[in-house]
């Protein structure tokens, strides 16, 4: 039986001594939570907001090696990230899919001399890459992935071949390079499934959203429940500060002064432009402007995502997408597809996040290392060590989590029991490996539960093999499609609310589903969902209307959407 939030609070009150407290449930905190739970360590993971609501929700959705980091000499990072990319394609195939990536190349030699100079630290200036540099980079990239063989090798296409494949592409193109990375369809769902896996691995490990770490006193940490205002005290043996761009602020709350983070903000637009969506097909376009800035044009379901910027910022709470960023993204689409007009009215969603990069003095943000590290602060006013998780890419969260776990296990004098390298995640378990097996899986489910095959298929597409649990629940008793979004049924929503730790309306709209991101919200739908949630979570009418206002305010303030 799943423990309720109240059960967990009661347990903490009776026994506040816990081996590990993780502050921050972005992918790094969550990955570490899962890893340690698998080793039999009891962990409490808390986040002041919802799970995966910080940097981890703001990513470019790329599970990638980061080919351009080769130029900064970050060979270790790229090798690790390529290998982790390949693992995610295998371990979470329902949420991470191979992504064909196209680099349009407008010259042959540019960057040829810059790249080695930058590698030697003699050049600080970014520059557009030419064909030769890209070819060398992609060859090395393939080399790192050679043993896992999960994606095809790169190819280079001539001008004519490029124009034949992408008729709308800028006709000045000299070549295109094509290589494969991974597309992450929903970072938020991947995080949630990792949490559920962690809790399943150890019944004494718990993850709580809307709990913030606010202070340290007499060797205990003070936790505030954002919903009830209750205060809890825990006495951890080890604290893992995984609060991403907020790491220094969290330490300050705990009475410790650090300056580990020098964050940069990055924004993205999601646009509804069928001509552009057609022009890119199922390919991401990854393009470097003359000033060295990166632009990506990414197929996100039937929409197009455009990003991203890399701008130093001091206060992560103030990160918003600026008018200049929006204009820059729109202009950049024109560089690759001059005939396609993107209007501001086509923007259906925008989002911004802050990369928790290490404090640095690089002259350009693109050159700050994307690698990860652990900074340990041993206590003066506290007797627990604090492991601060700095930097890192979404892609390599598993490797980073493993490293953090290993350090933690040494502190606890415990051995590693399980490796997470080949461990499937959530609905990636027993995933049908080909079309024939998928068909058998779907037919089996249909014969057991009798739901329409289309509904089973759509549940499988959303939840992988975890769809089995959904199907079981949905097929038991009456169910109806939503009035204002017939692709979801009432019982599917009830299952999410009850099993996936939904506490606010926006948890469901922004993170358990892609509804907000894909511009599917209407006033009627928000109203309809709030009624379902209200009866399930026992909200008063006042609470229900507060939840609607909160959703509308978040939509407007952070995503520039008014419904």
Would you tell me which residues interact with ligand FAD (CB under 6 A)? 23-29, 46-49, 53-56, 58-62, 64, 212-213, 242-246, 250, 253, 266, 308, 353-356, 389, 392-395
Q: What's the closest the beta carbon of residue 38 comes to ligand FAD, in angstroms?
A: 18
Helices of type H across 354-499:
397-412, 435-449, 453-463, 467-474, 490-499
What DSSP designation does 511 have? Answer: I
Residues paired with residue 389 on neighbouring β-strands, in sequence order:
374
3-state secondary structure 171-212: CCCCEEEEEEEEEECCHHHHHHHHHHHHHHHCCCCEEECCEE
Q: What's the closest the beta carbon of residue 244 comes to ligand FAD, in angstroms?
A: 2
Query: In this complex, which beta carbon is closest to ligand FAD, that of residue 202 or of residue 395?
Result: 395
What DSSP designation does 457 have? Answer: H
Q: What's the closest the beta carbon of residue 15 comes to ligand FAD, in angstroms?
A: 21
Helices of type H across 50-93:
75-91
Q: What's the closest the beta carbon of residue 368 comes to ligand FAD, in angstroms?
A: 12
Q: What's the closest the beta carbon of residue 278 comes to ligand FAD, in angstroms?
A: 24
Query: In this complex, which beta carbon is closest to ligand FAD, that of residue 310 or of residue 492?
Result: 310
Query: In this complex, which beta carbon is closest to ligand FAD, that of residue 394 or of residue 495?
Result: 394
Take residue 57 and report the two structure tokens written for it. Answer: 């929700």
Query: In this complex, which beta carbon is closest to ligand FAD, that of residue 245 or of residue 519?
Result: 245
Tally the C-alpha atoms within 13 A of residue 479's C-alpha that lie toward its C-beta.
Answer: 23
Q: What's the closest the beta carbon of residue 441 comes to ligand FAD, in angstroms?
A: 30
Take residue 315 and report the two structure tokens written for it. Answer: 């206060």
Query: In this complex, which beta carbon is closest to ligand FAD, that of residue 93 or of residue 245?
Result: 245
Q: What's the closest the beta carbon of residue 481 comes to ligand FAD, in angstroms?
A: 33
Q: What's the closest the beta carbon of residue 109 comes to ligand FAD, in angstroms?
A: 29
Let me know: does 209 contact 500? Beta carbons within 8 Å: no
Q: What's the closest the beta carbon of residue 210 comes to ligand FAD, in angstroms?
A: 9
Going by C-alpha positions, the residue among 338, 350, 187 that lies closest to residue 271 is: 350
Let me know: does 177 contact 155? Beta carbons within 8 Å: yes
229 backbone φψ class: left, alpha, beta (φ>0; ψ -120 to 50): left
What are the Cα distances from residue 444, in Å, to 122, 439, 464, 486? 62, 8, 15, 24
Q: What count of other Cβ atoms lies within 10 Å of the Cβ of residue 487?
A: 13
Positive or negative CA dihedral for 368, 57, 523, 341?
positive
Let me know: does 180 contact 99? Beta carbons within 8 Å: yes
Residue nearest to ligand FAD (CB): 26
Positive or negative CA dihedral for 135, 138, 144, 145?
negative
Going by C-alpha positions, the residue among 44, 381, 24 that lies closest to residue 238 is: 44
Going by C-alpha positions, the residue among 350, 356, 326 that lies closest to residue 264 is: 356
Q: What's the closest the beta carbon of residue 365 comes to ligand FAD, in angstroms?
A: 11
Q: What's the closest the beta carbon of residue 256 comes to ligand FAD, in angstroms?
A: 13
Distance CA 518, CA 304 (A): 10
Q: What count of other Cβ atoms lies within 10 Å of the Cβ of residue 174?
A: 14
With residue 97 as reference, give the H or E element that holds it.
strand 96-105
What angle in degrees, to the nearest 10, is found between the helix axes of 523-537 and 490-499?
50
Query: In this complex, which beta carbon is closest to ligand FAD, that of residue 371 or of residue 468?
Result: 371
Let me know: does 524 contact 517? Beta carbons within 8 Å: no
Q: What's the closest the beta carbon of residue 345 comes to ligand FAD, in angstroms?
A: 24
Take residue 373 and report the two structure tokens written for it. Answer: 């590290």
Angle at 354 between CA 252 and CA 408, to 5 degrees: 55
Query: In this complex, which beta carbon is closest to ligand FAD, that of residue 88 or of residue 525?
Result: 88
What are the Cα distances from residue 436, in Å, to 93, 118, 428? 16, 49, 17
Q: What's the closest the beta carbon of residue 499 comes to ligand FAD, in angstroms?
A: 21
Let me know: does 65 contact 141? Beta carbons within 8 Å: yes
Query: In this complex, which beta carbon is closest to ligand FAD, that of residue 242 or of residue 503?
Result: 242
Distance CA 284, CA 272 (A): 16
Q: What's the closest the beta carbon of residue 135 comes to ligand FAD, in angstroms?
A: 23
* Helix, strand, coil percentages in the chain from 3-state DSSP, rounded to 5: 40, 20, 35
Query: In this complex, which beta carbon is closest to ligand FAD, that of residue 130 or of residue 392?
Result: 392
What DSSP designation does 333 have? Answer: H
């Amino acid at each position: 039986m799943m423990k309720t939030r109240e059960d967990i609070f009661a347990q903490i009150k009776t026994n506040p001594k816990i081996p590990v407290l993780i502050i921050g449930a972005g992918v790094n905190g969550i990955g570490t939570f899962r890893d340690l739970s698998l080793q039999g360590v009891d962990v409490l993971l808390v986040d002041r907001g919802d799970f995966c609501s910080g940097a981890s929700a703001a990513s470019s959705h790329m599970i990638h090696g980061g080919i351009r980091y080769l130029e900064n000499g970050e060979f270790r990072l790229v090798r690790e990230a390529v290998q982790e990319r390949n693992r995610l394609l295998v371990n979470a195939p329902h949420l991470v899919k191979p992504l064909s990536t196209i680099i349009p190349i407008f010259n042959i030699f540019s960057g040829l001399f810059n790249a080695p100079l930058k590698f030697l630290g003699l050049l600080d200036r970014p520059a557009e890459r030419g064909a030769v540099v890209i070819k060398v980079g992609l060859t090395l990239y393939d080399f790192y992935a050679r043993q896992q063989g999960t994606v095809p090798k790169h190819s280079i296409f001539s001008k004519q071949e490029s124009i034949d494949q992408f008729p709308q592409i800028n006709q000045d193109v000299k070549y295109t390079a094509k290589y494969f990375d991974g597309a992450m369809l929903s970072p938020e769902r991947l995080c949630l499934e990792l949490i559920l896996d962690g809790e399943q691995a150890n019944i004494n490990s718990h993850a709580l959203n809307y709990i913030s770490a606010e202070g340290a006193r007499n060797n205990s940490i003070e936790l505030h429940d954002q919903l009830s205002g209750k205060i809890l005290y825990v006495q951890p043996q080890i604290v893992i500060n995984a609060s991403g761009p907020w790491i220094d602020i969290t330490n300050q709350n705990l009475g410790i002064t650090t300056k580990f983070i020098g964050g940069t903000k990055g924004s993205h637009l999601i646009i509804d432009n069928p001509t552009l969506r057609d022009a890119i097909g199922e390919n991401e376009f990854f393009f470097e402007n003359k000033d060295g800035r990166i632009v990506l044009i990414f197929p996100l379901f039937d929409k197009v995502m455009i990003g991203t910027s890399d701008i130093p910022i001091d206060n992560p709470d103030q990160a918003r997408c600026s008018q200049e960023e929006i204009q820059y993204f729109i202009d950049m689409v024109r560089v690759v597809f001059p005939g396609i007009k993107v209007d501001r009215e086509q923007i259906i969603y925008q989002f911004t996040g802050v990369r928790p990069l290490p404090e640095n003095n690089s002259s350009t943000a693109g050159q700050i290392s994307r690698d990860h590290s652990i900074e340990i602060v041993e206590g003066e006013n506290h007797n627990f060590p604090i492991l601060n998780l700095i930097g890192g890419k979404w892609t390599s969260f598993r490797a980073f989590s493993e490293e953090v776990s290993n350090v933690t296990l040494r502190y606890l004098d415990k051995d590693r029991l399980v490796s997470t390298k080949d461990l499937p995640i959530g609905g990636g378990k027993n995933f049908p490996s080909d079309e024939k097996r998928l068909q058998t899986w779907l037919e089996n489910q249909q014969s057991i539960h009798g739901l329409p095959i289309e509904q089973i298929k759509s549940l499988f597409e959303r939840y992988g093999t975890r769809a089995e649990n959904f199907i079981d629940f949905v097929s038991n008793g009456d169910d109806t499609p939503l009035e204002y979004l017939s692709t979801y049924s009432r019982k599917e929503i009830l299952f999410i609310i009850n099993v996936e730790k939904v506490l606010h309306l926006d948890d469901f709209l922004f993170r358990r589903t892609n509804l907000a991101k894909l511009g599917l919200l209407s006033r009627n739908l928000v109203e309809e969902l709030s009624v379902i949630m209200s009866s399930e979570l026992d909200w008063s009418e006042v609470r229900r209307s507060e939840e609607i206002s909160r959703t509308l305010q978040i939509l407007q303030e952070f995503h520039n959407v008014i419904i």
